[in-house]
């Protein structure tokens, strides 16, 4: 089995699970017009990894996922899962997939829809009721199980979509805009569910506009724009990274000492200061200095997450 290089110096190499190899997709109309949806996209995803895919609308995220599930054939390049062509892998093993648009026959009942998908997923008939009840319980759909799909609200439909993706213990999960339409309570619950799903032998892909969500859930985030991979960002804080970052500091006491430690601090409100540093070491050194001068710090918050900063740079560069 092929392995990926470690993503961080202290991590182990992961077995390669998904590989996009120089993938391109051009949509052609009957009139001869063509649109390049994805271009020269190469990326490897390892076992146990949660990979985020971020990009503006029309960046090519959904096209990439459609090629990964074998619903679309790449115009150039290939997508392989565990060394097999993507469609072959899906037909043999299945993938837990939540699509951006939840398309379930509106005439089906919520619970029978899950029974149908469970049957196709190959869950033994005797175990289907237990699997269906588990996901219904997990996704809070008990009071809606008898309803027709067309009677479900957007949020409940989204949860039903997620429920069908979780029916079986899949090795690969692909979640396209998973919190789209969910209320804040279920958005938080979804994050907990994804954390519960994290396993060393499971690979999860999450495509989302929500950078905060990806920052919290993903190990790495592939930023794409105009169908091209712009960069891959590790969401953990890289100690070696030298990037200018702005933080908002809130002080309980010692306001008068702030400029002794942060000479360029800008006042942002009552007891709040914006400071700019070039590295996390510089920030910690200055904070230690400030505390040694008697100041009490109540919070230090980055103005933007690492991912948000990288996203702005990547998408800005490609415009």
Partner 1 sequence: MSRARLARYSLWQFRDFVIDRGIAIMIIGLLWGYTLIAPMRAAMGAAFDVGPGSPAWPLVITVTSSVVSLSVLIALNGVVSADRKMGYYRFLFSKPVSAVAYYAQLFFVYMAGVLAAMLVLAVVLHTVVPTFKILNFLVYAAIIYIAMGGIGFFLSVATRFDWLTLAAVWLGSRILRDFYGDTPGWKSKVVELLPPVHKLTEVSMSIITSGTAHAGAVVWLLGYGALFLALGLLLLHRGSLAD
Q: Which residues bind partner 1 (CB under 8 A)?
A: 66, 69-73, 90-97, 99, 101, 103-105, 107, 116-117, 119-122, 125, 161, 164-165, 174
Going by C-alpha positions, the residue among 55, 26, 56 that lies closest to residue 40 is: 26
Task: Provide, rounded to whole angstroms, the least separation between the CB of residue 102 and partner 1.
Answer: 8
Our CB check for partner 1 shows the closer of 151 and 296 to be: 151
As measured in angstroms, the least distance from the Cβ of 29 to partner 1 is 11
Strand partners, 165: none
> Considering the complex, what minimum distance in angstroms separates the CB of residue 182 from partner 1?
18
Q: In what order do the strands lie in the sheet with 16-28?
A: 34-46, 16-28, 76-81, 84-85
Nearest residue (CB) to partner 1, 117 versus 186: 117
Please state, as a whole number, how many other Cβ atoms lie within 10 Å of the Cβ of residue 23: 25
Which residues sit opposite 229 in a β-bridge? 224
For residue 244, the SS3 value is coil
* Closer by beta carbon to partner 1, 112 or else 250: 112
CA torsion sign for 282, 285, 291, 297 is positive
- Least separation in angstroms between CB 99 and partner 1: 4
For the chain, strand residue ranges (E) read 16-28, 34-46, 50-54, 76-81, 84-85, 96-98, 172-176, 203-208, 220-225, 228-234, 245-253, 266-269, 272-277, 296-302
Q: CB of 49 within 8 A of CB of 219?
A: yes
Please, which residue, 136 or 286, has the CB nearer to partner 1? 136
Contact indicator for 159, 189 with CB cutoff of 8 Å: no
The residue (of 154 and 312) whose beta carbon lies closer to partner 1 is 154
Nearest approach, Cβ of residue 146 and partner 1 (Å): 17
Residue among 97 and 186 whose Cβ is closer to partner 1: 97
Least distance from C-beta 209 to partner 1, angstroms? 19
Q: Mutual orientation of helices 154-165 and 128-138 as an angle, nearest 10°?
A: 140
Q: How far separated are the first and last CA of the chain, in Å rounded?
A: 38
CA atoms 88, 92, 95, 100: torsion sign: positive
CB of 110 to partner 1, least distance (A): 13
- CB of 48 or CB of 94, closer to partner 1: 94
34-46 vs 16-28, strand pairing mode: antiparallel
Q: How far is the CB of 167 from partner 1 (least distance, A)?
A: 9
Q: Pick between residue 51 and residue 306 the one whose CB is nearest to partner 1.
A: 51
154-165 vs 184-197: helix axis angle to the nearest 10? 10
């Amino acid at each position: 089995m092929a392995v990926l290089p470690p993503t961080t110096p202290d991590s182990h190499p992961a077995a390669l699970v998904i590989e996009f190899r120089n993938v391109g997709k051009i949509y052609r109309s009957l009139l001869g017009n063509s649109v390049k949806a994805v271009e020269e996209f190469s990326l490897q995803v390892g076992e146990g990894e949660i990979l985020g895919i971020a990009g503006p609308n029309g960046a090519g995220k959904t096209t990439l996922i459609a090629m990964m599930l074998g619903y679309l054939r790449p115009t150039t390049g290939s997508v392989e899962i565990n060394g097999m062509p993507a469609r072959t892998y899906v037909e043999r093993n299945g993938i837990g997939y939540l699509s951006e648009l939840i398309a379930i026959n509106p005439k089906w009942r919520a619970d029978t829809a899950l029974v149908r998908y469970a049957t196709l997923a190959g869950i033994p008939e005797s175990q289907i009721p237990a699997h269906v009840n588990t996901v219904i319980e997990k996704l809070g759909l008990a009071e809606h199980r008898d309803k027709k799909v067309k009677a479900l609200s957007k949020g409940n439909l989204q949860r039903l979509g997620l429920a069908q993706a979780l029916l079986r213990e899949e090795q690969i999960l692909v979640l396209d805009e998973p919190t789209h339409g969910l209320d804040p309570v279920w958005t938080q619950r979804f994050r907990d569910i994804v954390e519960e799903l994290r396993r060393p032998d499971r690979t999860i892909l999450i495509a989302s506009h929500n950078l905060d969500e990806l920052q919290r859930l993903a190990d790495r985030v592939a930023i794409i724009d105009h169908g091209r991979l712009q960069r891959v960002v590790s969401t953990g804080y890289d100690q070696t990274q030298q990037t200018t970052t702005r933080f908002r500091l809130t002080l309980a006491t010692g306001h008068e000492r702030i400029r002794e430690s942060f000479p360029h601090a800008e006042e942002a409100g009552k007891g709040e200061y914006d400071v700019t540093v070039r590295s996390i070491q510089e920030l910690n050194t200055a904070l230690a200095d400030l505390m040694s001068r008697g100041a009490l710090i109540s919070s230090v918050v980055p103005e933007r997450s690492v991912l948000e900063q990288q996203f702005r740079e990547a998408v800005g560069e490609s415009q």
